[in-house]
Amino acid sequence: MKTESVARKFIIAFSAMFLIPLLVAVYLFFEYTGTSTRDFPRISIIFFFVVLLGTAGFLITRSVVRSLLRTSREAGAIADGDLSLRLSTDAGSEISELAKNFNRITGRLQRTVDNLQSSRKQMQTLAAQLCDTGSRPGDMTATFDVFLDTLLSLTGLEVGVISLMSPDGKSMKVRILHGLGKALKDAVIPAGDGIIGWVASHGQVVTTSESMPWRGGDLSDLEKSMTWALHVPMAAGGRTRGVISIGLKEGQKELSGDDMQMILNLSSQLAMAVETAELKRKEERAYVETVSALGAAVEARDMYTRGHSRRVTEFSLDIARKMGKPDWFVKDLESAALLHDIGKIGIPDKILHNAGPLPPDGMAFILGHPIGGENILKPVGSLARLCPIVRHHHERFDGSGYPDRLKGEEIPIAARILSVADSFDAMISVRAYKPTRDREDAMNELVRCRGTQFDPECVDAFIDYLKEHPETGAVVTS
């Protein structure tokens, strides 16, 4: 409102600039000309021109001021955050040119804001992936893929490689790559050799280009394909975990200081994630080995179940691989299968070794062992993903199983696979409380219970595997 008040005053003042000189001119005309000229027609003509010029000045001034007011309002809206708004360019040439320049500035600002918002989302996704590494230390391929994709997007580049140090520290192996031929994905570089090996062993950043080629020795095909490149070590815990290689655009000697700092910071975070995953894998492996030893001790209490978990694990992995499951899934299934009967630790010997009808309290112990196994695994957070598999490996596809009477796809697919493998081994093993089935009879039973007790897809995969491997599934006598 204050701006409009000033504008009105400006219109009046600017219009007066036209009227006052004209009135002065009229006064001087009558003052210094003869009375004979003071006739009405001449006075009318002069008066007409005075009014015409004054009106024209008023209209021109008002138009200019209105354009300025509109531009001011639009600029104010942009300043308040509406970056999608653009100034009107239909005013006078000077104001129009000013508006066009302002719009170009606003457009660049809008693109900058959009890029920042996109970068923020990408960083949030990357942070979520890195955090997820702590809960699932199995396979970090997805994390590496998101990390490299985010890094390239933030820097506006298209080529990148993440190479990791082998467990024995003797070589660097490509884990993920973008923008390069798939044939380079299996590249292995001896530690200390080439650019990547040198960066890994010395922990220093290296930039290469046509004007600054690498002179430290022979290069691998991967390194030769990245003439313009930045190689950054991934260091954490006092050692280099890997190397991030970013392909620069031709003629680009270096990245900006901000981009370089961002890459260094992100490489350190990724290295810490790798180190955390490695520590958790060691922790998990130690726990699994301990619990597996306890499970073996449980099986040793009963001569009829000796080796059962190992065989069930082998059958489960055969089914999973036949179904085309990814490596991380197979690894989780392997751990769960080894531990699936760990809950039997709490079953008394009189029930575990009972060859006849179960005592009144026996069924409660049998039905409770999946939950008991889950409770044993819960204390280790990284094994939480195994708990649903162990808990539900006695559920039935038709919903009549235990402990939760889950049905169909409500049952985790890993538990459905485990159920088929567990039942098959139980049928072909010698048990005191039931007759033993031969391999063909056990296969027929799986087919008969397909869709009721077992997932049809899991049964079909296992039957196909058994037909392809006739040596698998011989009757177990001990």
Domain check: are 76 and 140 in the same one?
Answer: no
Tell me if 225 sits within 8 A of 178, measured CB to CB. no
Using the 3D structure, point to which of 51, 82, 113 is the last residue of a domain. Answer: 82
Give 393-439 as a DSSP string.
Answer: TT--TTS--SSS---GGGS-HHHHHHHHHHHHHHHHB-BTTBPPP-H
Pairwise pLDDT comparison (222 vs 133), residue with the higher score: 222
Average pLDDT rounded to a whole number, residues 343-352: 74
The answer to the question of residue 287 being in a domain is: no
| Angle at 161 (CA atoms; ends 155, 162), nearest 5 degrees | 110
The answer to the question of residue 374 being in a domain is: yes
Closest CA to 231 of 268, 271, 204, 269: 204
Helices 141-155 and 93-135: crossing angle, nearest 10°? 160
Q: What is the pLDDT of residues 394-429, one digit of tens each?
A: 999 999 999 999 999 999 999 999 999 999 998 988
Pairwise pLDDT comparison (318 vs 184), residue with the higher score: 318
The answer to the question of residue 110 being in a domain is: no
Buried b (16+ CB within 10 A) or exposed e, 131-165: eebeebbbbbeebbbbbbbbbbebbebebbbbbbb
Domain check: are 32 and 65 in the same one?
Answer: yes
Amino acid at 369: H
Query: What is the DSSP pairing of strand 171-178 with strand 188-190?
Result: antiparallel
The answer to the question of residue 271 being in a domain is: yes
Domain check: are 153 and 52 in the same one?
Answer: no
Amino acid at 64: V
Domain check: are 331 and 268 in the same one?
Answer: no
Domain check: are 332 and 420 in the same one?
Answer: yes
Q: How far apart are CA 230 and CA 253, in angstroms?
A: 9
Domain check: are 147 and 246 in the same one?
Answer: yes
Pairwise pLDDT comparison (132 vs 194), residue with the higher score: 194
Position 119 scores a pLDDT of 55
Radius of gyration of the chain (CA): 40
Q: How large a percentage of the chain has pLDDT more than 70?
A: 62
Closest CA to 382 of 313, 282, 244, 458: 282
229 forms beta bridges with 208, 247
Domain check: are 265 and 334 in the same one?
Answer: no
CATH number at residue 191: 3.30.450.40
CATH number at residue 448: 1.10.3210.10
Does residue 360 have a cis peptide bond before it, meaning omega lies within 30 degrees of 0?
no
Position 413 scores a pLDDT of 97
> Half-sphere exposure of 450 toward its Cβ, with a 13 Å CA cutoff?
15
CA distances to 91, 183, 385, 451, 465 from 437, rounded to whole Å, are: 94, 49, 34, 21, 19
Position 134 scores a pLDDT of 45
Helices 362-377 and 327-339: crossing angle, nearest 10°? 140
Domain check: are 262 and 309 in the same one?
Answer: no
The answer to the question of residue 291 being in a domain is: no
Domain check: are 272 and 197 in the same one?
Answer: yes
Position 240 scores a pLDDT of 84
228 DSSP 8-state letter: S
Domain check: are 52 and 162 in the same one?
Answer: no
Domain check: are 308 and 266 in the same one?
Answer: no
Q: What is the pLDDT of residues 238-266, one digit of tens each?
A: 788 889 988 877 666 566 777 777 788 88
Place of tokens 């036209």: 18
Q: How far apart are CA 423 and CA 450, in angstroms?
A: 12
Position 402 scores a pLDDT of 93
Using the 3D structure, point to which of 82, 114, 147 is the last residue of a domain. Answer: 82
Residue 427's domain comprises 301-468
What pTM was computed for the model?
A: 0.53
- Structurally, how many domains does the chain consist of? 3
Domain check: are 390 and 453 in the same one?
Answer: yes
Using the 3D structure, point to which of 243, 261, 277 is the last residue of a domain. Answer: 277
Q: What is the pLDDT of residues 313-333, one digit of tens each?
A: 999 999 999 999 998 899 899
The answer to the question of residue 365 being in a domain is: yes
The answer to the question of residue 131 being in a domain is: no
The answer to the question of residue 404 being in a domain is: yes
- Kindly tell me the burial class for residue 283, based on how many C-beta atoms sit within 10 Å of its own C-beta (0-12, 13-18, 19 or more): middle
Q: What is the pLDDT of residues 140-149, one digit of tens each?
A: 777 788 788 8
